[in-house]
């Protein structure tokens, strides 16, 4: 097969791509780039990615988008960011709002406002790995398909891991169930005990009103292979309502053990975390002046 592009053309093309990337980076606020550079990086290989395909340089292009949502759209207010310890840490938060903007905002708050900027790794739904472009973007941005084995490896690399133990049940919850935590999975606790990781409970107030869902059409979700198919009230707009986010980071919690305990013991620990987050949610709700 004859080359479709000659060597010269393909060189020009690559030059063009690099030029676009450089000029995009020049447009970005240097303070923001510095924050990304200050964040610790682990295990970056010869080709600029970590073993799972995460490229911190890509965060520089995503950070301005995240900052727009953080500062202008959701007007986030974070408290307790100084409580996040150095080294490996697990952020456990409530999940809500139909679209995972809550994950993006927790990541953004730690990247933009924490005393020590961190790049947070999150877990994504399994079916997103089947989507073209989205799967690659998530992969490069450090989001991985939820699996305890990968989580363990990342924690051993001293990364910050964000987990929503409610899972799809949480993000797809209906408007009537807002701020009621769904049942928590136990996997995160075993992982934390196994790797001796401190747990930081996070309560996110605001996101639960961003896309009020009236009903969940389960058969349609099953047909499309989605985790849920919520009927959202203002579903004409692809964006959520511009609610105000309040992020509350709690004191790090440490549990003793090695992850091989009985389910009853683990369930006790999990409930302790769940109650803490539920309590933080109640306090946050009382303090909040208005939804918007």
Closest CA to 161 of 85, 269, 70, 72: 85
For the CB of residue 24, give the shortest distance to another protein in the complex, in Å. Answer: 18
Q: Is 133 in the site for another protein (CB under 8 A)?
A: yes
46 is a site residue for another protein (CB under 8 A): yes
The answer to whether 143 contacts another protein (rule: CB under 8 A) is no
Does residue 48 interact with another protein by CB under 8 A?
yes
Contact status: 149 vs another protein (CB under 8 A): yes
Minimum CB separation of residue 261 from another protein in Å reads 23
> Helices 56-67 and 30-38, interaxial angle, to 10°?
130
Q: Which one among 22, 23, 26, 45 touches another protein, defined by CB under 8 A?
A: 45
**The token pair that represents 243 in the structure block:** 């609610």
145, 241, 265, 285: residue in contact with another protein (rule CB under 8 A): 145
Q: Check: CB of residue 84 under 8 Å from CB of residue 114.
A: yes
Does position 168 interact with another protein (CB under 8 A)? The reply is: no
Residues in contact with another protein, shown as a per-residue x/- string from 53 to 82 under the rule CB under 8 A: x-----------------------------
Q: With contact defined as beta carbons under 8 Å apart, do 70 and 106 qualify?
A: no
Among 153, 158, 179, 261, binds another protein (CB under 8 A): 153
Q: Does 139 bind another protein (CB under 8 A)?
A: yes
Smallest separation (angstroms) from another protein to the CB of 189 = 20
C-alpha angle 126/127/128, rounded to 5°? 90
236 in contact with another protein (CB under 8 A):
no
Q: Does 150 bind another protein (CB under 8 A)?
A: yes
**Nearest distance, CB of residue 65 and another protein, angstroms:** 20
Round to whole Å and give the CA distance between 132 and 41: 27
Whether the Cβ atoms of residue 241 and residue 210 lie closer than 8 Å to each other: yes
Count of positions on this chain that bind another protein (CB under 8 A): 34
User: Among residues 10, 86, 116, 271, which is the contact residue for another protein, using CB under 8 A?
Assistant: 10
Rounded to whole angstroms, the Cα distance separating 233 from 25 reads: 38
31 binds another protein (CB under 8 A): no
Q: Is 4 in the site for another protein (CB under 8 A)?
A: yes
What do you get for the CA distance between the two ends of the chain, in Å?
A: 60
Interaction site with another protein (CB under 8 A): 1-5, 7, 10, 14, 45-49, 51-53, 126-127, 129-136, 139-140, 144-145, 147, 149-150, 153
């Amino acid at each position: 097969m004859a080359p479709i592009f000659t060597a010269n053309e393909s060189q020009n093309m690559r030059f063009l791509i690099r030029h676009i990337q450089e000029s995009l980076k020049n447009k970005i606020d240097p303070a923001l780039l510095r924050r990304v550079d200050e964040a610790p990086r682990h295990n970056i290989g010869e080709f600029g990615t970590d073993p799972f395909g995460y490229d911190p340089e890509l965060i520089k292009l995503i950070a301005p988008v995240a900052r727009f949502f953080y500062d202008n759209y959701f007007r986030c207010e974070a408290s307790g960011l100084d409580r996040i310890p150095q080294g490996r840490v697990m952020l456990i938060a409530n999940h809500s709002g139909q679209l995972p903007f809550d994950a993006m905002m927790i990541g953004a708050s730690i990247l933009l406002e924490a005393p020590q900027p961190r790049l947070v790794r999150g877990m994504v739904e399994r079916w997103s790995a089947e989507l073209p472009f989205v799967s690659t973007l998530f992969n490069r941005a450090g989001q991985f398909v939820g699996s305890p084995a990968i989580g363990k490896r990342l924690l051993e690399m001293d990364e910050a891991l964000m987990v929503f133990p409610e899972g799809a049940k949480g993000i797809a919850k209906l408007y009537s169930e807002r701020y009621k935590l769904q049942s928590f999975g136990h996997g995160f606790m075993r992982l934390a005990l196994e790797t001796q990781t401190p747990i930081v409970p996070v309560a996110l107030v605001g996101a639960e009103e961003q896309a009020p869902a009236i009903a969940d059409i389960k058969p349609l979700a099953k047909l499309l292979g989605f985790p849920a198919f919520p009927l959202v009230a203002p579903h004409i707009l692809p964006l959520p309502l511009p609610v105000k986010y309040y992020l509350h980071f709690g004191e790090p919690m440490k549990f003793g053990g090695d992850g091989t305990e009985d389910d009853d013991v683990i369930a006790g620990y999990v409930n302790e975390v769940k109650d803490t987050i539920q309590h933080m949610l109640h306090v946050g709700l009382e303090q909040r002046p208005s939804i918007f």
